[in-house]
Structure formats: structure tokens, C-alpha cells
Structure 1
Amino acid sequence: MQKLMIITSYFPPEIGAASNRIFHLAEGLQSDYDVTVVTPLPNYPTGKIFEEYKGKFKVKSCENNVNIVRLWLYASKSKNKFVRLFAMLSYSMSLVWFFVWNKIPDKVIVQSPPLLVAFTCMFFLRSKKRKLILNVSDLWPSAGFELGALKQGFSYKLLQKLERFNYKSADLILGQSNEILTHVSKITSKPQLFLYRNYPNIKRTEITKVSMNNEPLKIVYAGLLGVAQGILKLCKELNYNNIEFHIYGSGAEEEEIKLFIKNNKNLPVFFYGRVDRANLHSELKKYDIVIIPLLNRIYGSVPSKIFEYAKLGMPMLYFGGGEGENIINDYELGWVAKAGDYNNLNSVLKKIDKAELTLELQQKVKDVAYENFDLSKQLILLKEKL
């Protein structure tokens, strides 16, 4: 069987869209390839090596017929840019060491961002005999600039050069959105381009919950509590007249959100922390709608939660703009509020009639998802490109 390697900075047991995407990709390819995933020791989003991996330099395992090699890195979630840079450099150094002492297959899929890690792979693995596939989930450094995490200057221009090098070194680029593929095509015409959405692999189940009209509208957010999502600001800006806001997850804003709830006990805001994915799907059934927010509209970004929640039959309120907004509207998956406009968000919430949240609506959302967001069909098309 032909060998294929996937190099990523995120992989289960870490949580989040990136780790889930790569897990499903590896799982989907293992029937046709001998798949090896190279990834750091688990540390995201806590910024600390998970307890069972502490003190280890390299861990090898086989899970679901996928070979997994976990390499050392200096784990950190520091806001200091130099500490973050060192953390990325540490994984890049581990990768170079791994490349030197191990035979690398002729097909390699590289996750980007982080740009520096992707650059390390694209630079050291270049070969006429090897096919390099770049899986682009976000457009860095431009996404970092839009989030306010990066400023234009020398370092920004350097990151742009790394970005261009990565695209031009790839034979095939998998983009999570049409906006990403459009951006890449403006930089280089060399690689083939393939739209590869972050579709989840969820077994179909029956919908049983129907909303009670005499209760407040129960809104839930589940996921990373980072800068991009802006959940702390959302807590502060929501109009709580006849709504409840329930939060699941962990990340950089977690402690601030807890403090906000502690200082505003009169508000119906509830925090439950991190819940594993299987239990989370069960928990979500308690709520009326899920909210998918982005602090700022990020060009190229399409939150994977759209596809996951749709398959669960959950109506959505999307608050992020861009291509994600189009998907919600085109497939009639819920409601849309103007990105960054909290007055409009509250206005949309006020207009949501709980009488509309029927079993039929939930079933319609689920049917649309299973018809249009099919991971297995997407993998078949991808295998033809590899």
C-alpha cells in the first residue's frame, strides 16, 4: 500500500476544528494509504503538555489504523510574540530532526497555518519525486492582521514571503473556502486547487427535542474561547431580555468570561467549561439555537461549526460575515446578523419566534446537511487529486 504522511500542528486528543479536520482526513485516507500523522505532543488550547505526555520527547502509536508520531515542542499560550515564536520554532526544529532520521513518503500533506511550521516542511521536503499537498485552513498573515494580532511591518512582510513560498512550493492546495482558493490563485498558478470543506463525520440520529414556547430562548456557544471568537464581548453586548446564553469550551478568554459571570450574577449567562465532543453533541440538544460568532469578519474563514451543527439539526445564528454567511443563507440553516454589529445581532434575536423552532425545522436543517455536506463524497474526489 502506498504511504502518505500528514504533518499538522493540531490533532486529537486536542480539541478544535483543526484537530477534527485532520483526524477525519487521516481516517478517510487510511483505506487507500498507509497513513502516518506527525504532530506535536498534545498541548492545545491549554498551552501545556497534556499530563500523560509530560516528560516525553517522542511518542509513537497506532490509532484507527493510522500511525501517529508525536514530537516534542515548547508548549505555551503566552501573549508574548517572542515566546509564541519560540514555541513554533521548537516544533519546526523537531520536524527537521525527524526529517533527517526518517524516510519521508512521496506524498505529504502539510497543514497551514502555522506558516513557520508549513514553511519548514515545504522547504525541507521539496523534491521532484515528492508531491507536496498544502492544506490551507486560514489566510495568514492577513487573518492575523484582521484579528488585530499582527501589525503591518517587517515581520508581516516576512510572513507574506513565507506564505508565497509555501503556495508556490505546493503541487496541490486544499482550501477550506472559495475565498482561500481565490487568494492563492492571485499569487501563483502552479499548484492545482481543490475546495476541501471541513465536513464532520457524524452518524445520523433521530431528533427528539422540541422547544417549549413559554421558556426564554436558549442560545448556546460551544468551542474555543479565543480572540477570534470574541465570546467575552458577546457576553457584554447581548440584550438578555427573554434569552439565556450558555457557553461550553476553553481558551484564552476563559478566565475573563468566568469573572464576567461572577460579577454579573443577575444575567442569565452560564459557563460549563470544556466537554468532549461526544458528550457535547448530547448537551446541545438542550438548547434552541447555536450561535457562531467571529469578533471580526475574516477573509477566507468558514467556521467548521456550520457543517457540524447542521448535521445535528441545530438551527444557527451566524455572526461573522463572509462566505459562512452565504452558506447559512443559501442552505437556509438559520439566521444571519451583520458582522460586528451588535445592535443588529440583538434585533435579529428579538425577531426569532420560538414557535418557529419546530421538529420540522430541525429535520430540514439535518436533511440539507446530509445531502450537501458529505465527507465521504468529498474524500472520493480528493483521492482522485492526490
Structure 2
Amino acid sequence: MAKSILIITSYYPPESGAAANRIFELATGLQKHHFRVSVVTPMPNYPKGSIFKAYSGKLKQTVLEQNVTVHRLWLYASNSKNKLLRLWAMISYSLSLIWFFIWHKIPDTVIVQSPPLVVAFTCMLCLRRKKRKLILNVSDLWPMAGLELGAFKKNFSYKILEKIERFNYNQADLLLGQSHEIIAHIRGMFPEKKTFLYRNYPNFKPPILLDSSKNANKITLVYAGLLGVAQGIYKLCTSLDYTHIVFHIYGAGAEKESIVQFINSNPQLPIVYHGEVSRNALHQVLGRYDVTIIPLLNRIYGSVPSKIFEYARLGIPMLYFGGGEGETLIKQYELGWVVEAGNYQALNQTIKTLTTAGIDSKNRLIIQQTAQKNFDFNKQLSQLKKLL
């Protein structure tokens, strides 16, 4: 008989982004490995901060998607800069989760996504009392990451979040971390806890490689993803030397309007904004560009952008501009070029050298083969399955 497992997350398709994709791959992957999988998630709202039109006005929805039962619950959606409104958004989802726990039979094994810390806390508190096996999937080290991003200050509220973080880790039977830094952080607090390095490997058929655009004078540089504060794409637009590049941008987020306004105000600059497109559509077009850039405004301890693994599988050379463990991966597997986070002078100098670096289909094939060998989703899932 198939073992039942519940995944609780704040992000799930049709929402876009790494978090939604990661949990979707985990859910469908476990289902294909003969688990009976159900997912609890809010009504789709990310990154817009408002409920998607198709789900508006609903308090609850349960559907079967790719043989995974998906329960979508009400929340007060907001991506406001007002911290109280964002906190209420998390609390509202937590209240819906409590209602769900009361009226539904909960499987013996539950995977909880963290962050958000408050949502994870609700799950760990309620489900520990139900004596379930709790697996905490830690994708970012909050509140530490929030402090590094400037979202938090070391005050009383921060100390409360640290206590919640410790509580969540302490209640978990198994902790999954997306980076070695996350695992080290958890073991520093609770050395006796079981941990497992669970990378954000994608799970799609590697595409046939395309010839990138050929331009004798310029390379095509592309960014695709969230246009948020942490990524710093607006700062990138204002700091790049466009002598050697054409810069293409895909995505949406808090900085979108600033970026569009900058482009409109500087029509002489070779920047093209394509808007937000689906993941599948991105896979069709990204291979046409010479190099993709993966930036972070500041180095964030524990963070490893999932774009690294996705772009490697697509066979796209990467220009990594974020520091940390992601930088180590780029160097270790020879996936592209690394520039110190925040050093725009060094970034422009590196880009200048790329015009004569010989970016060709051979390099792309090697990157793709490296990804298939070292970033194997199903191999990793098979190892995780033994611990569930």
C-alpha cells in the first residue's frame, strides 16, 4: 500500500518562481515514487500580492493535479512593504491551516516548507501534538537572511523570530537544507538532529541545444526571474557598461516599474524587457542568448539560487554575481564566470572579456552533461525516500 505524505507550503503552481517549482517537483516526484501525496497551499497570489482571478472569492478548493491532491486555502494576500500587513498575510494562512488540521485526517508524515517562519511554527506546534513525523524543508535561513537583506533589525522582534526558528528546528524529526551552509547552521544549534542536503535540482528533459544569437560586436546577456530587491536588477541596469552587450530581462516583481521607467528614460541603451512568461516558455527562449546572469545585491548566507541547476540543465553559460555557496558551485563544476558580489567595475571588466572568450555550442554541451551527471533530481529523491 502506498505511503501517504502531506506537504505544507506557501508557494505552489500556478504561482511562478523557484519556491513553487521546487515544491511542485518534490510533490510530483514523490508521487512517481509511489507515495500518495497531498499538498496544502494558499490560494495562488505570488508574486502579485493578490489572489489570482480564477481563485478569487474562494475559501477553499481541493483538486487533483497530476495525481497529487492539492488543497488551496484562504489567506489575506499582500506583498505590501508594510510589515504588519505582510505579517497578517502569514497569520491568516496559519489560521486556515489550523482549521484544516482540525477537520482533516493528517498523514503520519508531513513535510513543512520554511520560510515563512510563522507558518512553519504553526505547523510544527499543531502537528507535533498530533504525533506526526515532521520534516522541515529549510530553503533560506530566516531571520538571518532578512537581517542581511536589511528587512530586519536586531531588536526584540528579531529575537522572537530567532526563538521561533530554534523551536521549528527542535521540533523536526528530519531537516532538509538546500545548501551546506544551511546544514552547518542547523547542526551548530542542534548537532544531534538528522539532516539531509536537498538541492533544488530541476526535473525536466534536457532540451536540444540551440545556437545562441550571433553578433560580431556584442553578446546577448539575459536575466530571468524575480525582479525583487534582493536581486538588484534595477541597480544592474544602471551600472552595466553596454558597449559590449545587449541586456534582456524577463520577470516581474517589486522593481519592475523602476526598471521599465529606466528603460523608457534611456532609449539609447540596449535593454529589452520582455515581461513575465511561463517557465516552459523561458526554457524555449533562454538558449538563444549567449550568457545568463545570476545576481544578488548582497551575499546571503545559506542561499544557493536554484537558477544554477536549472540553467546548467539547459546548457546555458552563467555569469554569477552573488557570492557564497553559489559561487563555489560555479567554480567547482566550471559552469561559467564568477564576479565578486557588488563589484560592478569587476563585472563590466569580466563582461568585456567574454566578447572574445569563444562562447560556443561545445561549452554548452559540456555544461549540460555536467548537470545531468551531478545534479540528478531522481537520484537525490531516491536517497531522500529512504528517510521518509
What range describes the TM-score normalised by the shorter chain of this pair?
over 0.9
Q: Distance in 2 between matches of 1:185 and 1:61?
A: 38
1-side partners of 2:213 and 2:286: how far apart? 13
- Partner letter of residue 6 of structure 1? I
Match 2:126 to one of 109, 124, 129: 124
| Cα deviation, residue 283, structure 1 | 1.4
Could you tell me which amino acid in structure 1 is paired with residue 341 of structure 2? A
Q: Distance in 1 between matches of 2:161 and 2:386?
A: 32
Deviates more, 1:257-266 or 1:121-130: 121-130
Query: Residue type matched to 2:291 in 1?
Result: I
Q: Match of 1:385?
A: 387
Report the residue type matching 2:31 in the other structure: Q
Q: Which residue matches 2:281?
A: 279
**Structure 1: gaps (5+ residues):** none
Q: CA deviation at 1:247?
A: 0.4
Match of 1:347 among 346, 349, 352: 349
Q: 2:71 aligns with which of 65, 69, 79?
A: 69
Letter in 1 for 2:21: N
Sequence identity, in percent?
61
- Contact 1:171/1:190, CA 8 A, preserved across alignment: no
SS in 2 for 1:156: helix
Aligned counterpart in structure 2 of residue 252 of structure 1, from 243, 251, 254 = 254
Question: One-letter code of the match for 2:7?
Answer: I
Give the structure 2 partner of residue 235 of structure 1. Answer: 237
After TM superposition, the runs of 4+ consecutive aligned structure 1 residues lying more than 4 A away are none
Aligned partner of 1:113 among 115, 120, 125: 115
**Which residue in the other structure is 1:98 paired with?**
100
Moved more, 156-165 or 201-210: 201-210
1:213, 1:354 within 8 Å by CA — same for their partners in 2?
no
Matched, 1:58 2:48: no
Aligned to 1:219: 221
Give SS of 2:57's match: coil
Q: CA deviation at 1:208?
A: 2.8
How far off is 1:242 after superposition? 1.7
RMSD of equivalent CA atoms: 1.0
* Matches of 1:226 and 1:128, distance apart in 2: 38
1:358 equivalent among 346, 350, 360: 360
Once the 2 structures are TM-superposed, how far is the Cα of residue 114 of structure 1 from its aligned partner?
A: 0.3
Where 1:225 maps in the other structure, the secondary structure is coil
Residue 189 of structure 1 aligns with an amino acid whose one-letter code is P
The answer to whether the 8 A contact 1:7-1:37 is kept is: yes
2:140 maps to 1:138? yes
1:148-167 equivalences under 5 Å are 148-167=150-169
Describe the shift of the 1:287–1:359 C-alpha distance in structure 2 as closer, same or farther (beyond 3 A).
Answer: same
Q: CA deviation at 1:285?
A: 2.0
2:30 counterpart residue number: 29
The secondary structure found in structure 1 opposite 2:188 is helix
Query: Which residue, 181, 189, 197 being the options, matches 2:191?
Result: 189
Secondary structure of residue in 2 paired with 1:152: coil
Question: Helix, strand or coil for the counterpart of 1:224?
Answer: coil
Instruction: State the distance in 2 between where 1:377 and 1:129 align.
Output: 30
Does structure 2 retain, via aligned residues, the 8 Å contact 1:318–1:328? yes
Q: What's the counterpart of residue 290 of structure 1?
A: 292
- The SS at the match of 2:128 is coil
Contact 2:212 2:287 in 1 (8 A): no
Instruction: Judge conservation of contact 2:212–2:288 (CA < 8 Å) in 1.
Output: no
Q: Following the alignment from structure 2 to structure 1, what is the Cα–Cα distance between the partners of residues 289 and 327?
A: 22
Matching residue's letter, 1:148: G
Provide structure 2 residue ranges, at least 5 long, that are not aligned to the other structure.
none
Q: 254, 265, 268: which is aligned to 1:266?
A: 268
Q: Contact between 2:217 and 2:355, CA under 8 Å: does it hold in 1?
A: no
| 2:227 partner letter | L
TM-score (norm 1): 0.98
Distance (Å, rounded) in 1 between the aligned partners of 2:384 and 2:271: 42
Match of 2:261, SS? helix
Superposed CA deviations along residues 249-308 of structure 1, whole A, max 9, x for unmatched, are 001111111111111111111111110011111111221000000010000000000000
